[in-house]
Structure 1
Amino acid sequence: MGVFSALTTAVSGMTAQSYALENISGNIANSRTAGYKRVDTAFADLVPDAALNRQVAGSVAAFSQATNSIQGDLNPTRIDTNIAINGDGFFVVDQRQSGVGANTQFSNSNLYTRRGDFDFDANGYLVNGAGYYLKGLKIDQVTGQLVGTQPDVLRITKEQFPAKATSSIEYRANIPAVPATTQKSQGGTEFLNPASVTAAGAAPNPYAANAAVMGNNISSFLATSIPGGSVTVYDELGKATSVEMRWAKIDNGNPAANPATSGTWGLFVAQDTSATAAGDVAYVQAGQTVSFGSTGQMVSPASGDITLPTMTINGTTITGINLTTGGNGVTQNGDVSGQIDARSIRQDGYTAGTLDRVSVSAEGAVIGTFSNGQVVALAQVSVARFNADNSLKRLDGGAFEETIESGPPIIGLGTSQMVGGSVEQSNTDIADEFSKMIVTQQAYSANTKVITTAQEMLTAVFNIIR
């Protein structure tokens, strides 16, 4: 039986080495396939049951050994929608069954892949090079919260991003204790000429809320005030208009009655700078005056918010806008220039816009950049991790499906990160595969030699009979 067993063992060796060569050839063929995970070959000896002193080496069987947990190199592609996972995890994907556009039907089953060469198709779906559709969770653009709990196929269309009316202007500036007005440069005081401000359309009163500067007083007003900067604001329809501000010092406060105050100012907003008649409003004063303490800090209004008046500028009505200073954003300190040092003027409104580009953050958020300058998170890419990555079942196109051995998916990035504009390459090492090919070839040839030797021995046995 020894010679026949040798033949059987040699055949099993040839079969095992052929299996190994098949895996090697597949690895080499996919050495440039994005996200491909090579398949190694593991060998196991098969030993027949025998007495302790009669045991033999036995034959061999070959088994596949997955390398799903071994990451390939990350290659930059400069395509914003391409994604690579740096670390553990798989993209959750699905397959298309039928239909087009919004009526596309999917198989509604979760598959998993490391192939991240996703790009938009004609219908706004993110599809990789093997035809698998990326899944994730939508994000509510108003609340910023995730919508739903189960991953769904992502579809991002170029819908218009709605306009937002300006409700707040963040203002950071230093107002000089002594403004360098035209009147001051001509030897006069630094204070506003009260006659240039009309309260309730009649009596001059710079302390009145929403007092106005009429067109016939504009020259006097400009000579006793200094520019405070300008900012573009938007109405509900996204129509833009420029808000021009000027500051005028009304008095030095009342140190005798209130030692904490050292100056009172009025903030004026331009409504129609071309006005000339006594009945036409050129500037409107904000809803309250602004007072500063002895150390230059704002003491009134206590909240630090200044309400701008409701007015119509170049046909656009602005209303409900607060100038926020954060309490200490506006100060009154000495400045040799005598001009306002506006460090920051920012508002929160914007016009309508369309989607310009999409990118992916390290946390897996799909970020949309719109033509109106807004950057908004649109969706969250779903990533699944497994306790036994190498027990996933392989499918065509670099996809995998869950098995009992792999365990259920754990949704979440964990300690991994996403790299936008990159794709993970195959983890196949060509040099290593060629080395394994040489060893496999030699082992296969050695097994054929065993068969040749066994044949010669059997021939010798047959010749005994002759």
Structure 2
Amino acid sequence: MSIYGAINAATSGLTAQASALENISGNVANSQTIGYKRLDTTFSDLVSSTGAVQARQAAGTTYATSRATNTLQGDIVASQVDTYMAINGAGYFVVTQADAVIDGQTTFATTEYYTRAGDFELNEDGYMVNSAGYYLMGFPLDARTGNAVGDNPEVIQIGSQPLPAQATSEIKYQANLPSYPQTNNADTSVPGSQYLDTSGAITTTSDIAVADIDDFLNSSISGQSITVYDQNGTPLNVEVRWAQTAANTWNAYYSSGGDAVTGWYLIGEVTFDAAGVMDTLTPAGTNTVGAGGASFVIDDLTVAGVNAGDIEFSFKKGSLTQYADPKGLASSVSLNQDGYAAGQVVGLSIDGAGRIIASYSNQQTRSLFEIPLATFQADQNLRRVDGSAFAATPSSGKAAYGNGGTIVANALESSNADIAAEFSKLIITQQAYSANSKVVTSADQMLNDALNMVR
């Protein structure tokens, strides 16, 4: 290699180290950027000439290329924001950009982008947007099956419409009724005083009239109460009472809620065997026995004049028993029902399966969208775009779903650029740059010496 060749090689070294410095500076600048993937630098030699033997070969020049680190995980840090997400493992969030606003509605570009920056928050239109302005995409979920709909992700928008009310269809009841109820009338010295008072107008097979409420309350015990809902979500307080009518035999009632004629409606009769296990159910009026023989179906349950429809009053799985109780009251009472009022969205969360779950003001939750993770055969060939995002290229392959890592809720992935490591590379790059400049200086001095010889 001639002196000119040495200058050419050193100049290429200066150019290559300048490229390395550019990558380092970019990495340092983005050391706090969410989801950023640093660029490392690879140096390759260019052989200017070769000889037939080792002794005639020259080192040649060099050039620098960037090396992607997309597959290198950044640290995952916790966050208190429920809509923030991090990816643990392979994959990218699928995002897009807003295109225009037409008639007050946002339209979106057809191009999909991919990012690890999961700092998504709801905007005023219900879209999930990260700090770089990218809109999150996902699969809507079928409300009945919970399965994803379609195979192409769409822009996620959380609607503001309320969750419709659901009418109560079943009241699950659990209790132990005492073998001897301690009613107001109960007197152990008077046999039968614990039974329903039928000395007046009350019978064991009819509803309780308003005029007989006091006699009824004094000869029955509380079975507690529960709120149920009609088809419009109107709450109704259903209060239950039990009256023993004979040994091992009970009547169940629910309150009319202030009816002018009837104070309590008879649901039906329950009998127990000698061991305290529920035996038979005999419904009252138009009520029926539910499938399986462990429930009453209350026909047109009505409270305060509001009809909630047919509701199953269930004692399934042996949930109603009659054992001795020292207090003589219904014990271990638990009531549950399956209805609810309409509700507004009050919060969002992300579960481990990458599903967006909406919480409503009526204490209900619904899974609305599934967030897919896109993977590529050749991540290193993705094209970098603004905002810590990437675009697919022919050499990266198409996005595939189902093989990514896991989504971590309430967390963010930090930049994988480490300041200490970048500073170490900066020192080495600076020294290499200085050394190449020294080669240029030395070669220039040698050329000057050669020119001075002819003077």
The reply to whether TM is greater than 0.5 is yes
The equivalent residue for 1:213 is 208
Tell me by how many angstroms 1:293 deviates: 2.9
Closer, same or farther in 2 for the Cα pair 1:50/1:173, shift >3 Å?
farther
Question: 1:55-454, aligned counterparts within 5 Å?
Answer: 55-99=57-101, 103-185=105-187, 187-188=189-190, 189=192, 190-194=194-198, 204=203, 206=204, 208=205, 211-252=206-247, 263-272=248-257, 280-286=261-267, 288-301=268-281, 303-412=293-402, 414=404, 416-454=405-443
Q: SS of 1:352's equivalent?
A: coil
Task: Note the alpha carbon deviations across 1:428-450, whole angstroms, 9 max, x for none.
Answer: 11111111111100000000111
Tell me by how many angstroms 1:413 deviates: 6.3
- Between the aligned partners of 1:115 and 1:320, the Cα distance in structure 2 is 51
Quick one: which amino acid aligns to residue 244 of structure 1?
E
Q: SS of 1:166's equivalent?
A: coil
After TM superposition, what 4+ stretches of structure 1 lie above 6 angstroms from structure 2? Answer: none
Tell me by how many angstroms 1:378 deviates: 1.5
Determine if the alignment matches structure 1 residue 18 to structure 2 residue 18.
yes
- Between the aligned partners of 1:224 and 1:18, the Cα distance in structure 2 is 95
Task: Note the alpha carbon deviations across 1:192-245, whole angstroms, 9 max, x for none.
Answer: 2345676xxxxx3x2x4xx31112222222222111110011111111110000
Task: Note the alpha carbon deviations across 1:258-286, whole angstroms, 9 max, x for none.
Answer: xxxxx2221111114576xxxx2111111
CA contact (8 A) 2:50 2:58 kept: no
Quick one: which amino acid aligns to residue 432 of structure 1?
A
Quick one: which amino acid aligns to residue 428 of structure 1?
A
- Between the aligned partners of 1:343 and 1:55, the Cα distance in structure 2 is 94
Closer, same or farther in 2 for the Cα pair 1:14/1:456, shift >3 Å?
same
The equivalent residue for 2:289 is none
Q: Which ranges in structure 2 are unaligned for 5 or more consecutive residues?
A: 282-291
Task: Note the alpha carbon deviations across 1:302-324, whole angstroms, 9 max, x for none.
Answer: 53222234243123212211122
CA contact (8 A) 2:16 2:63 kept: yes
RMSD value, Cα: 2.1
CA contact (8 A) 2:251 2:269 kept: yes
Task: Note the alpha carbon deviations across 1:142-179, whole angstroms, 9 max, x for none.
Answer: 44332222100011121111111111112121111221
- Between the aligned partners of 2:198 and 2:121, the Cα distance in structure 1 is 65
Q: SS of 1:465's equivalent?
A: coil
The equivalent residue for 2:40 is 40
Closer, same or farther in 2 for the Cα pair 1:272/1:402, shift >3 Å?
closer
Quick one: which amino acid aligns to residue 128 of structure 2?
L
Identity %: 41
The equivalent residue for 2:284 is none
- Between the aligned partners of 1:55 and 1:355, the Cα distance in structure 2 is 74
Number of matched residues?
A: 441
Structure 1 length-normalised TM: 0.89
CA contact (8 A) 2:85 2:411 kept: yes
Q: SS of 1:419's equivalent?
A: strand
Between 308-317 and 432-441, the greater mean CA deviation after superposition? 308-317
Q: Which ranges in structure 1 are unaligned for 5 or more consecutive residues?
A: 199-203, 253-262
Quick one: which amino acid aligns to residue 149 of structure 1?
D
- Between the aligned partners of 2:387 and 2:103, the Cα distance in structure 1 is 23
- Between the aligned partners of 1:325 and 1:88, the Cα distance in structure 2 is 50
The equivalent residue for 1:258 is none
Quick one: which amino acid aligns to residue 263 of structure 2?
A
Structure 2 length-normalised TM: 0.91
CA contact (8 A) 2:259 2:304 kept: no
- Between the aligned partners of 1:384 and 1:456, the Cα distance in structure 2 is 57
- Between the aligned partners of 2:240 and 2:371, the Cα distance in structure 1 is 45
